[in-house]
Amino acid sequence: MSARHPRAARSPLPAPVLLLGILGAAALTLPFVGLGTRVAWADVPMLLASGPARAALGLSLRTCVIATAVSVLLGVPLALLLARQWPGVRVARVLAVLPMTMPPVVAGIALLSTLGKRGLLGPALEAAGVQVSFTTTAVVIAQVFVSMPYLVVTLEAALRSRDGQAETVARTLGAGPWTVLGRVTLPLVAPALARGTALALGRSLGEFGATIAFAGSKEGVTRTMPLAIYLERENDTATSLALAVVLIALSLVVVAATSIPWHSLPLPRENWCYPPRELVLSPTRTGVIPHENWCYPPRGQDAAGRSIHLSFTCAERGVGLRLDVEAGRAVALVGPNGSGKSTACAVLAGLLDAEGGSVSVGGRLLDGGAPGSVFVPAGRRGVALLSQAPGVFGHMSVLDNVAFGPRCRGLARAAARERALDELVAVGAAHLAHRPGSQLSGGQAARVALARALATDPAVLVLDEPMAALDVTARQDMRLLVARRVAEEGLTLLLVTHDVLDLTALADEVVVLESGRVVESGPTARVLAAPSSSFTAHLTGTSVLAGRLAGDAEAPVLVLADGTRVAGRPGEPWETPGGQGLALVPPDAVALYPVDGAAHGSPRNALPVTVTALERAGALVQVRLALGDGQGLTAVVTAGAIADLGLEPGGAATCVVKAVQVRLLASRGALSSEAAVPRKEKS
C-alpha cells in the first residue's frame, strides 16, 4: 500500500467565489471548444499543404523566432535596468508597458510614422538605401514592438521581488558583475524569464494589427499566419480554421513548456570521478577525508589568520567604530539590535564603504575611506562572510555551491570541484554533494555555507549570527565545527552573536557595542564574569536596576525611584553622587525568605519583592521578582525551596542580596564621535 503524502489543509472558498471562478474558466475555454466543432480534422493535413498556408506558416515561424530572440537580447537588459532605483524609473516603467495597452493598429501607425518613407527616420534610412516598411524586416520590428513588453514586465517584477542575499554572497566569494549576473541573478529569475519569453513568443505568433498597418500583407513576404487567417476567412473558411488550429497548438506548446518544473528535475551526473563510498580517518586532519588515492590541491600559505584594523563612521546608521584584532585571535561583537554589529561586518567584507576611516587586513590597506582612494572589492580581501541566511544557491548542486568561490578565483572546474569535495568532507557534508541547494535543511545549509566560505582560503572568517536560525543540536554541532576549523587553519575570527555559549566556545575577547559605540571590551571570561554594561549583564542573566547614585566609594548606594536603597560593593571606580547609575545583581546572588523570615548572616540588602513568574530551568526554577518601583530581579532556587517558601505568582517575599555581590556603575550616555559621512554601497 503506497504511502500518501500529507497535504496542508486549505480554507474552503465561498460558494459565490467558486461559482464565479467556474464561469470564468468556461468563458476562456468554450471558444476553443466551439472552434473545434467547426474544424474538418480529417482535412487539416491537406489544407496545410497548400502553398499559401505553407508560406504563411513558414514566415510566421521564422519571424517570431527572430523577434523573440531580439526581445530577449534587448528586453533582459531593459528589465535589469528598470528593476533598479534611479531618477525617473517610474516613468520609464510606464513607457515600457505602453505598447501592451495601445491597440495594435495604433502601434503599426506609430512604427510607420517613425520608420516609413515619410516618417521621422524614413529620409535618413532611404538615403542609406535601407527599406524597412512593407518588408519582412518590418514584420519582425512590429512583433518586437508589441511583444517585448510582455517579457520586460514579467522579468522586471521578478527581479524587483527577488532576495538579493544570494548575489551578496556571490560578491563576497569573489564573483564579478558578469559572473553574478550569469550564474546567480538570471538563474534565480529563470522561471520568470522563461514565462516572459513564452509570452513574447506567443504574442509574436498572434500579432496582426501592427503588422498589417506597418508591413502590409504580401504573400511570402509579410503575410503571416494571423493575416492569412483573416484573409482566408471569407474565401476559404476551412483553410483559415486549419491555420487557426495550428496557431493555437503552437501557443499551447510554448506556454505549457514554461509550466514544467524544470528546477525539480534530477540534476545530471557528469562524467567525473566521484568520491569512494568508504572514507577513512586522516592522521593530518580531524575528521574524515576520502581514500588516500584522492589528490587535493595544496592549501595556500597565505591562509593563516591576519590582523584586522577597522575604523569608520556612518551617520545614516549612527555608527562610529574603531576595532583592532590581532592575527589568529577570535573576537566577538555583541550588543543590542541596531548597535552596528552587522554594519561593521559589511564594511570589513567590502559591502559598505569605510567612510571617514580605513580597513586593513594583515597590514594591507583594503579601503582608504575616501573617494578615489584604495578600495579592494568584496571577494578579493581574504575575508569570508557568513550571515544569518546561509545564502546557498538553490539552483546549483551543493558541490557546485562550494566550488563557486574557487572557480571565481580562476581554478579549473575539476580542481575546484575536488577542492569543494575536500571542504564538504571536512564539515561532514560529503553525502550532500549532489543534492540541489534548495533541498537542504537549516543545519545542512549552514554546514555547506561554512564549507563554501572556507574553500576560498580566507585569512579572516566573519560570522554574522549564522547559527541564529538553527535548533539547539544543529547550533552545537556548528559551533564545534567552527571552533575546530578555525583552530586548524589558524584563522582570525570576528563573531557576531547573542548567545553566551558562542562566546565561551569561540571567542577570546568580547567587544560590546551600544548605539554604534564600543562601551565595553576585554577577555571573554572577565567580561562575562564581571559585566560593566547593561547589555552584557542581561546577556549573562544578571539583573540590572536603574536609579540614582548616592554614598561614596567606600559605601556606594543606588537609590531606586520609590526610595529603596541598594548597597553595592565598595572599591569600585566612583562617580559624583547624584548621577544616574546601575546596579548589576547576578541571579545566584539573590536569596529568598518569607516576608516575616529573618535573613542569616550580615546582608545589607533585604528588599521586599513580589513574585511575578516561575520558570523551570532544568533541575532549578527561575523566580521572577518585582521591586516596589516595578523593576525586576531574578533568583534561581530549587523546586524544594519553592515548596518550602510557598512561592507563587502574586505572592510576597523578602529578597536578600549581599552588598559585596552588587556592582554599581554610572549609566553610560551617548559617546561623542567625529563628524560622520553617509554610507555608500560599493557594487
26-261 and 304-514: identical CATH topology: no
Q: What is the DSSP string of 562-598?
A: TS-EEE--TTS----TTSEEEEEE-GGGEEEE-TTPP
Write out pLDDT tens, residues 334-354.
988 888 899 999 999 999 888
CA diameter of the chain: 114
Say yes or no to pLDDT of 235 above 80.
no
Write out pLDDT tens, residues 418-470.
999 999 998 888 999 999 998 898 889 988 999 999 999 899 999 998 887 78
What are the extents of the domains in the chain? 26-261, 304-514, 541-666
Instruction: Tell the burial category of 303 from Cβ atoms under 10 Å away from its Cβ (0-12, 13-18, 19+).
Output: middle
Residue bearing cell 518544473: 261
Lowest mean pLDDT among 336-340, 360-364, 412-416: 336-340
**What number is the average pLDDT over the span 542-554?**
84
**What number is the average pLDDT over the span 72-80?**
96
Say yes or no to pLDDT of 16 above 70.
yes
pLDDT of the residue at 94: 93
Distance CA 629, CA 631 (A): 6
CATH fold, domain 541-666, is OB fold (Dihydrolipoamide Acetyltransferase, E2P) (2.40.50)
Q: What is the pTM of this model?
A: 0.72
- Grade residue 262 by pLDDT with cuts at 50, 70 and 90: low
Instruction: Tell the burial category of 110 from Cβ atoms under 10 Å away from its Cβ (0-12, 13-18, 19+).
Output: middle
Distance CA 433, CA 420 (A): 9
pLDDT of the residue at 599: 60
User: What is the enclosing helix (H) or strand (E) of 366?
Assistant: strand 364-367
Give the end-to-end CA distance of the chain in Å, rounded to a whole number: 56
- Grade residue 642 by pLDDT with cuts at 50, 70 and 90: confident
Pick the CATH number of 26-261 from 3.40.50.2000, 1.10.3720.10, 2.60.40.10, 3.40.50.1220: 1.10.3720.10
Q: Which residues contact 205 (CB under 8 A, 6 or more apart)?
A: 60, 64, 225, 226, 247, 250, 251, 254
CATH 3.40.50.300 fits domain 304-514: yes
Residue bearing cell 496545410: 48
pLDDT of the residue at 62: 93
pLDDT of the residue at 299: 39
Say yes or no to pLDDT of 274 above 60.
no
Write out pLDDT tens, residues 22-62.
999 989 888 888 888 888 787 778 877 778 888 888 898 99
Average model confidence (pLDDT) across the chain: 82
**What number is the average pLDDT over the span 362-374?**
85
Q: How many CB atoms lie within 10 A of CB 252?
A: 12
Write out pLDDT tens, residues 564-581.
899 988 866 566 677 888
Residue 570 has φ and ψ, to the nearest 5°, of -75, 160
Write out pLDDT tens, residues 154-179.
999 999 998 888 999 999 998 999 99
Lowest mean pLDDT among 92-101, 122-131, 567-576: 567-576
Residues 322 and 443: beta-carbon distance below 8 Å = no
Output the CA–CA distances (angstroms, integers) from residue 513 to 175, 261, 432, 531, in the order listed.
32, 47, 38, 13
Q: Which residues contact 318 (CB under 8 A, 6 or more apart)?
A: 340, 515, 516
pLDDT of the residue at 295: 32
pLDDT of the residue at 93: 93
Write out pLDDT tens, residues 187-206.
999 989 999 998 999 899 88
Instruction: Give the percent of the chain with pLDDT over 70.
Output: 87
